[in-house]
Structures are given as structure tokens and as C-alpha cells.
Structure 1
Amino acid sequence: MNTAASTIQAKTARKALWKYRYLYLLVIPGTIYFIVYRYIPLLGSVIAFQDYNPFQGFLRSKWVGLEHFYKIFDNRDVIRVLFNTLQLSLLQIAFAFPAPILLALMLNEVRSSLAKRWIQSIVYLPHFLSWVVIAGIATVFLRSEGFVNQLLHSAFGTEPIYFLQTPMFFKPLLILEVIWKETGWGTVVFLAALAGVNAELYEAAVVDGAGRLRRIWHITLPAIRSTVVILLILRLGSVMDSGFEQVFLMLNPYVMEVGNVLDTYVYYKGILQADFSFGTAVGLFKSVVGLILVVLANRLAKRFGEEGIY
């Protein structure tokens, strides 16, 4: 009986495989990419538990266990860098994460489809600029003889303000860059969720006398709540990632104390100083913390009645 059922299931699976063969072919390149560039390199994480020597390789390097992980919490530089990373990530969650939601809500209220498409096209454009270009624009505008200082001098007669060299301005500047670059692109998911809202709900709310803010609060926001929760869970998984390229391009000796984050620290320590084992240990620690945060956030979301990501 079990053999017959297994045979039927195998035939059904083969038929489904042949029926959707072209879809599976499309999946193959992405699968190969993740295997080659994501999963196979994980084997190299073993050097976090070794005193790795490139000339001796993985097999002959001395095994030191958790020694490098102990160093993470004994090293004052790592503690400072960890604080910078968490602070920058929390600022991004507090200010950059809600920005696409607010923009999507505003775009959803635009009734002219032509104006809506034009606005969407304009706000999408910064996403396609590289961080090198963004950093270049920021430098041109904010340097001591840049446009912003010239404008302030002509309007208020102020002396040049060293935005790029002042630690106080470093993190707000990074947050503003992220908001400007990614807010428009982030609205794609929320606008897709809003497109599925039944228009009759808005019509019924208007008949009942609900104003625009009431309609947004009782119809629009509940429609995207599950999407917001899922994206927030995923964002918490990368709370230890502050964006290496952006931070690295904006760093200079004047702001190193407040701007050096885990990603740049691993680069300086692991690559430039050739301390591969310690750099890998920091990276592995960062990944484990991200995984724990995702699991906890997913459980918390389910406890409040949301679906979560798994």
C-alpha cells in the first residue's frame, strides 16, 4: 500500500517538474549564485576558531577555540564600534524605515494617475545612484567652500561650518543620505500592498462621514500592517549591518571615533592588518546576533497575531 502511494507521488512530482520545467530553469542561476557566493564561503568561518595563517591554510592552522570571541568583549575598540553600529542602526530604523511608509501613504492619496507616476519616477531615481556618487554629491555640497556654506554665508553671514569633519553631524548626515536614496524605492512594496485594498471600503467610509485621516487610520494602515511587520523583522536581522560602502566613503580621521562601525572595523582589522581570524570572529558574531533578533522578532509578531516570515 505504501509502495503504491509512493509510486503515485513520484509520478505526480515528475509531472509537476516537467510541467514547470521553464520556471525551474529560471531558478537555477539564482540558486547557483547563492550556493557559490553565500553558502560555500560559510565553510571559511572555521578560521574564527583558529589562529589562521594563510601559508598554513585551514587544515594546519592552530586551533584556538573561542579565544577571538573573548577578545571581542575585552577590546575597548570593539565595544565602541559595537555601540556606534547599534546607534546608527537604531537611528535608521527610527527615521529611515518609516519614511517609505509615509511617502507611500501620501502617494496613495494622489488622485491624478499621471502626477502619481511622475512623482514615483522622480523619487525612485536616487536608488539607482551608487554610494560613491552620493558621497561625492554630499562632499561637493557640504565642504567648507561648498554650496551649503556659501548659501549660509550669503544669507546669514556665518563662518564656514565643517559638516564633514564634525562628529556631531556624521550620523545625521548618514541618515539623511539613506532617506534621500532609498525612500522612493522602499515605497514599491507598500504601494503594491495598498493596490490590493478594496476601493469600496473607502467609499463606505466616505458615506459614513470619515475624513481623510480617519480613512488612512482605519483602512490604509491596517492594509499594510502585515507588510510593515515582515519588513521590520527582516530589518532587525541586519541591525548589525550599517552599510559598509556608505560609512567607509564618509569616514575621515576627524569622525573616526563616532563613525567607525563593525563593517569598517572588520575591514581595517581583518584585511588591512591581516588579522583574518579576529575579523571573521567579529563577522560571525554579527551574523549570530542578527539571526537571534530575527527569531525573537518573528515570535513576538506571531504573539501579536501577525503571520511573521515563517
Structure 2
Amino acid sequence: MKLFQYAFLFSAISAVTACGGSSDTVDTKEQQAGLISIALSDSPMAGVSAVQLQLGQLMMTDANNVEHSYSLNNMTINMLDYQGKASINVVDSLQIPAGQYHNVYMTVVQGDGNNGCYVDDGQGRHALTVEDGVLPMQNFTMLNAENHTYTMEVNLYQGLHYGQQYGYQLAQDGLRTVNNLHMGHMLGDVDPQWIASCEAANPDAVAANGSFIHLAYIYPAASVTDISQMGDVYASPAAGMTAPMAVAPIHLDDDGNWYFGMGYLPEGEYRVGYSCSGNLDDPLTDDTSSGQFNMFADAGTVTIVAGATGGTDTYVQCGMMGTGNGHWGGMGMGMGGG
């Protein structure tokens, strides 16, 4: 396999040069090309104060099975700094030849405790190992003069695992990539009575610090029609159950409003579930079948729309909100966003 390697600055379009051991001549005529940009965003989790990724290279293979490599300059990112709709560009307007690309991924520098990826928690700093050492992306086709913008969402509640033997690991089932032209953001307010009732019904779900972990679970509506089909974050749910495609923590603001935000959802129809048993939802085990975890409430369906340029905000009200407007101000459906 031929290997094409490229270096670039994040803020400028790169010149493409080819190197390697082949005897092919480089066509000096202007090549058809397009631009690609890639950002990272995070859905956080409780119990950790930093999740740092160190990026090595962007890799992709074209239709002729030639592998292309672009340096990411060992860029380091604390994913907890880019939650919800916030994101950070790791590739900015990189020029690549037009064509079809597959096996697209970013490599990472695996953690060893001193260098590379790591997690900070209440016990200190720990090495982080990423599954296969890569962050996989979707295949794509670049036409001449096109400009593609993608965001990779890193959902820690689904992807970040901890075990006594292996330490912290980031699994690929917690990653998803979306084309920014075809995605939107979900903003939700949660009925405070749901919160109180769930805590009263699930006293054993309290975490070691004495608090509950409240989570919103997002499912594809085509697979989930009621609460009985809503599974936990375990990647291989029991028959009749569906694992969520995204999970978002529910926060309490200074005015007593419970709310959540989930960024970069592909446009389409979803169903939203709520639970205060997040502390008992282990991504390595089927906690629903064991009876340890339960989904408390079904907020119904919501349709995410992208809008003309992508990134539209869609509001969902989970339960009754009384006379208040909630954290998001009762903004209604389809309000313009980021």
C-alpha cells in the first residue's frame, strides 16, 4: 500500500505533497480538491475532572487504496472543556484531493501514566487507553470545491470505562461523528417533580458522595416506542431493549431549574428517557436486566431538525414545568442555534 503523508497548520489550508517509495510521478497540473474540517465535542460524566486526549495523525484511504496521513501535531485536548454545543477544531480547512475516502480515523498517543492520554479523578491522574489507539470516523466522498465540516461527539457515559485490572479505557461505542450540515442540538428542561419522585423511589441509587446522578437518555424513535424498550448504556442490551445513542447529564441551575443539553445529534426523530439511577449504570454490564438500573420516565418523542445550515436548537419539555419557564426560558421548538 502506498502512503501519502501531509503536514499542515490548523489555521491555514495545507499544500499537499506526496512522498514514499513508489516511482510514480507527481502530476503538476492543478488537482481537484475540497476542504475538510473536524471538531471534537464531549458529553461529560460525573466523577472525573479531566479527560485529556493527545492526537497523533488523521488517516484516510482513497478509492485506489492509497493511505493518506496528516499530522495533528500531538495536539492535547481536555474534553471536559467542550461540553454540549461547545467544540474545538482539530482540523481546520484542510485541503485534500477530491474522491471517495474510507477507513477514516484519528490516531491518539496512548497514556502511560506520564505521557499521552489521561484521566483525572478524585484519586489522582491515571493513564487512559483508547480502543485500538484510534478515533474512527465515517466514510465520505469529497467533490471538487466542496467544504465538509464534521464533529466527533465523545460520550463519556457510554465510552469511558474503568476496571481494576486495566484502569481507564475509552471504547469506540462512545464515539459518533456527524456532518454539521445535517445535525441539530437538543435543549431540555426536566420537571422537578420527576426529580423528587425518582429519588424517593430509588434510595439505593445514591452515589458515594451522597447525591444522585440524573441523566437524560436519547434513543432512535424508530427502535423505541415506549419506556419498556429503553436500555441502559451497556452496548449489548437484552432482546427487546435498545441502548441509547446518547446520554446527557441533567444539571440544577441557581434558580432551581433542572436542565440538560445534547449537541450534534443527526437530524431525525428521537425518544427521551429520564433516570436518577445513573450511578448504577455501568457500561460494562447489563444493569437493566439485573434489576439494578431502571428508567424512571418517558418524555416522549422529539424531532431534531438541522435547519438551512445545520446546528438548529430544538427544545424539549420533560414533564410539567408549572408556572416557570425553566432553564431555557420555554423557548419552544426549533429555535435557531449554533
* TM band (smaller chain): under 0.3
TM-score by length of 1: 0.25
Larger relative contact order, structure 1 or 2 (CA cutoff 8 Å, min sep 6): 1
TM-score by length of 2: 0.23
More helix by share: 1
**Computing the radius of gyration over CA atoms, which structure comes out larger, 1 or 2?**
1
